[in-house]
Every structure is written in structure tokens, then in C-alpha cells.
Amino acid sequence: MRTQLVPEEFSEVESEAVEVQWAMELAPIARVRVPHTTACKSTDMADEGTEYAGSSDSGFGSRLCGSFGSMCCGLILVPIIVFGIFKNEQDQLLDQATIQLVTGATEVSECTPQPGLNGKLIYATGCKMVFPQLTNQLPPPVQPFLNDFQGLNLGWVVSIFQWDKVKHSRTEKTNTGGSHTVYWYTYEADWSGETVSSESFPSGHRNRGSFPTNMARYGDINAPGTVYVQGKPGSGFYLDSSLTSQVPEKHLNPHQAAVAPCPPWSTAWNGTLQACQLRVDGIYLTTAFGDPQVGDLRIYLSGKTASDVSIAAEQAADSQHRGYATLKAYPPQTFGIFGRQTYPLEKLYTGHLPKADFIAQYQKESSVRGLVLRVLLFIVMIAACNCIFSPLSVMADLLRMINYVTCCLELGTVLDNATQCVIGLFSCLCATVTFAIAFIVCWIMVRPLIAIIMLCISIGALVGASFFHKGTKKVADAREDFYTHIDA
């Protein structure tokens, strides 16, 4: 009995050792977020920075069933992608029609409203944003590091440097059409929005520290009241929420404050944060001096503000503020012979822009958005076609069974890889053709007038070419009859 058990135990240990060695070889591919990030595990794997977490096997039958589920998902995705293509092309058409409305907008110089333009589309330039002071509402530890900030919004986010346990995996196909997956862990230190429990971590990767008690982890300070832009003294426009939401948000660069020295931030206890415990590190405020340690804090500041803006919107009367008017969305307008309507027009860009530059920037934004969506939809179409052909991909893995016959030549692996390449190329070709057909059909549906004109031009060209060919043939026949008569 004992002699029979020893080989079996040895076989299991040897198998696990091979998997552990595999995991150790895979450890370098794990993403390490900071230079001094290390990983740890027990016993002999500690030096390799990998903690073996086990393995799992998936048979050919389960993989085949899963592939049919992927095929169903792909078949569902295709019509959704086609609808997305149609919606994107329709949005592009309506965007262009909406942008064209700006060309007919009445320009208002020096951002001064005119009574006769109420209810009409205007284009206002030279507008100065008027914001309240928000710096004094920041938490006390942060206030000294930010100059007087006037804006629509001011926010902060506090992060803490912590260890975390990250799981990795790698899957390889077997010679029976199944797959074998190995799992392993690494311990990585990075900035986190919450404290991480490290009770099960090794002793060298225990977390400490906490967020300050006198400052929230994140917060937002919004400008009170209604925001307005000003031109000449005593005149301007009040903005609605849609326009104020278009004011860009950006990170704020803190400056080093002159504060009295004090003990550094302690990462081992809970307490209040003081301004003297912070320093500027690029766009952040941090308690770390040099490389961050576990428990150090980092603060990110952002805000919405602008100085000069250019606006296209509808002017409306404002009875509460003399000399001022209100800007709101210009209602949709009908265009084309099919009675379509534009989007409501209410656009804001930073800077003092001439109308032509405003329109160019608006068109560029719309075109880039449309192009990005087309590329994303095309990528999703490729993924959907790959899902549709996944059963063929799984069945092709049975070619690896040839490895049992060819031994170390691994001819089955070569044939499987070649088949997978062919299936991948074919799925990409199907995705390209399907996307192109869907794009053309959707483009024709969105722009039927242009499609009809192009169709008429094509028919006219074909008819003209036919008459030209017939005329040329008649001339040739007449010339041939003439020469035949002379010869006779």
C-alpha cells in the first residue's frame, strides 16, 4: 500500500511544481504600478514575487457549449451594431444641419443684448465669465496651496497608498480540445480611494494609515446662484444649466505654500491633516517625501472655469436684471424636403472666437465624434463575428490530438494555429463586408435625397453610354457598308 501511494503523491506534487514553475515564469508579465512594487508568497516562491493560486481544467464539451453561447451573443450584437451605425449617421446629418444654423445667427458685439433680438438665434463673443470665489470653501489643509479660484465648480479627491492583492491567470489549450488555466497572485502597491484590508496579506505587505478625520475623501463646491457673462458694464447674459455644463473641467496646479513646519504625516495612526504636512508633487498634493510609503495621502484638485467664451443660443428677455438677457436653447428647425428637424442649438466654447472659427470647431467636434463611433462600431462588429465563428474555433482545437501521434513534432499545434488564423481572417473579412453593407444602406436611408440624385446620375450615365455605344456602332456599320459597296 505504501509503495503504491508514494508514486501517486509524487505525481501530484510534481504536477503542482510544474504549475508553480509556470506561474513563476509568468510573474514578469504582471503589471506593476510603482517602481518599488514587489510581490510576495510563502516559502521558496517569495523571491519570485508570485503566489500560486491553483489551476483549473475545462473540457472540450464545456468549451463547445460556451462557444455556442458566444455565437448567440454575436448574432444578437450584429443588429444592435447596425442600429448604432444608423443612429450615428443620423446624428451626423442632424449635427451638420444644426451647425448650419449658426451661419444665420445675428452677431452680438461686446456681449451686449439687444431688445429686438429676443426670441432669435444670436452669436455672442467677447463675453467675460463672472464666477464667485470658491477657494475659501476648501478644507483648511488645502486652502494655502491654491490661489484665488473663481469658477463654476471646485472639487478634490483624496487617495491613500495601499497594498492590494491582484489575481492573474493564463490559459493554454490541451491536446484533447480542452484548456488548462493557472492562477497566481501578486501584491501591488498603488493609490486607492479606500483603505484595503490586509489581514490575510504576508507580513511584509500589511496596510496601515487612514484618511484624515478633518477632510472628506472627495467633495464638490458649486457656485451659488445663477452664472452670467458680462460685456459692457451693466450688461450681459445669464446662462442656463445646459450652457454652464459645457464649461470645461481641468486639473488645478497647486503652488507650494509658506507654512510653519510641523511633524510629518504619520502613516501609523488616525489623525487630522495639516497644511504643513503636504507638499506639491506635480498636479498633486501629497504627504510623501520621495517615494510614497504605505499610508501616505495624495490630493487631486479640479475645477470648472473660463475667462472668455463664445456662445450660440437664443436670446430671451430677463425682467429681473436690467440690462441683461437670458440665453436658452434655440428650438429645433425644420430642414430638407422630408421635414426633418435639427437639434436644439445651445453651444459654448472658451475663447474669443470669430463665427467662422466657432463653426469650424463645432464641425470638427462633430466629425471626430462620428469617426470615433464608426471605429468603435467596426471593432465591435469584428468581435461579434469572432463570437459567431467561435464554435468552429473550438472544434479546430481537436487538431491538437495529432500531437499524440507526431510526438515531439507538435504537428497538431501547427495545424490548429494555422486554422485559427484562417478562421480569424475569415471572420474579419465577414465583419468588414457586413459593416460596409450596413454603412452604405444606413447612409442611403439617412440621406435619401443625395442617394436619389446619385442614382439618377448613375442611370443617366448608363443611358448616355448606351446611346453613345449605339451611335458609334451605327457609324461603324455605315462605314463598313460603304467600303463593301466600293469593293463590289
Per-residue pLDDT, averaged over 247-267, amounts to 87
Per-residue pLDDT, averaged over 170-175, amounts to 90
Shared domain check, 110 and 224? yes
pLDDT averaged over every residue in the chain: 83
- Rounded to an integer, what distance in angstroms lies between the CA atom of residue 246 and that of residue 224? 17
46 — pLDDT class (breaks 50, 70, 90): very low
Shared domain check, 241 and 137? yes
- Rounded to an integer, what distance in angstroms lies between the CA atom of residue 363 and that of residue 104? 16
Per residue in 420-457, pLDDT (tens digit) is 999 999 999 999 999 999 988 888 888 776 667 766 78
Q: How many separate domains does the chain show?
A: 2
With a CB cutoff of 8 Å and minimum separation 6, the contacts of 188 are: 30, 31, 32, 33, 34, 37, 39, 163, 164, 166
Shared domain check, 139 and 254? yes
> Residue 262: inside a domain, yes or no?
yes
Residue-range definition of the domain harbouring residue 52: 2-66+162-205
pLDDT at position 155: 94
Cell of 373: 463611433
Between 291 and 479, the more confident residue is 291
Cell of 239: 446662462
Per-residue pLDDT, averaged over 354-382, amounts to 95
409 — pLDDT class (breaks 50, 70, 90): confident
When mean pLDDT is compared over 23-37, 280-294, 399-413, the highest value belongs to 280-294
47 has a pLDDT exceeding 50: no
Per-residue pLDDT, averaged over 321-335, amounts to 91
pLDDT at position 384: 95
- Rounded to an integer, what distance in angstroms lies between the CA atom of residue 182 and that of residue 54? 6
131 has a pLDDT exceeding 70: yes
Shared domain check, 53 and 187? yes
pLDDT at position 296: 93
Q: What Å distances lie between residue 374 and 66, 371, 425, 431, 446, CA to CA?
A: 29, 5, 21, 13, 15
369 has a pLDDT exceeding 90: yes
Shared domain check, 343 and 194? no
- Rounded to an integer, what distance in angstroms lies between the CA atom of residue 170 and that of residue 143? 48
Tell me the pTM: 0.78
> Residue 368: inside a domain, yes or no?
no
pLDDT at position 478: 66
85 has a pLDDT exceeding 80: yes
Shared domain check, 215 and 152? yes
Shared domain check, 252 and 218? yes
- Rounded to an integer, what distance in angstroms lies between the CA atom of residue 282 and that of residue 285? 8
- Rounded to an integer, what distance in angstroms lies between the CA atom of residue 49 and that of residue 42? 10
pLDDT at position 232: 82
- Rounded to an integer, what distance in angstroms lies between the CA atom of residue 409 and that of residue 137? 72
Shared domain check, 347 and 256? yes
The dihedral of CA 113, 119, 123, 128: what is its sign?
A: positive
Between 158 and 38, the more confident residue is 158
Per residue in 22-38, pLDDT (tens digit) is 444 554 443 333 333 33
483 — pLDDT class (breaks 50, 70, 90): low
CB 198 within 8 A of CB 206: yes
The percent of residues above 70 in pLDDT, for the chain, comes to: 84
471 has a pLDDT exceeding 90: no
Shared domain check, 243 and 147? yes
DSSP 3-state of 175: coil
pLDDT at position 13: 41
Shared domain check, 156 and 178? no
Percentages helix, strand, coil for the chain (3-state, rounded to 5) are 45, 25, 30
> Residue 176: inside a domain, yes or no?
yes
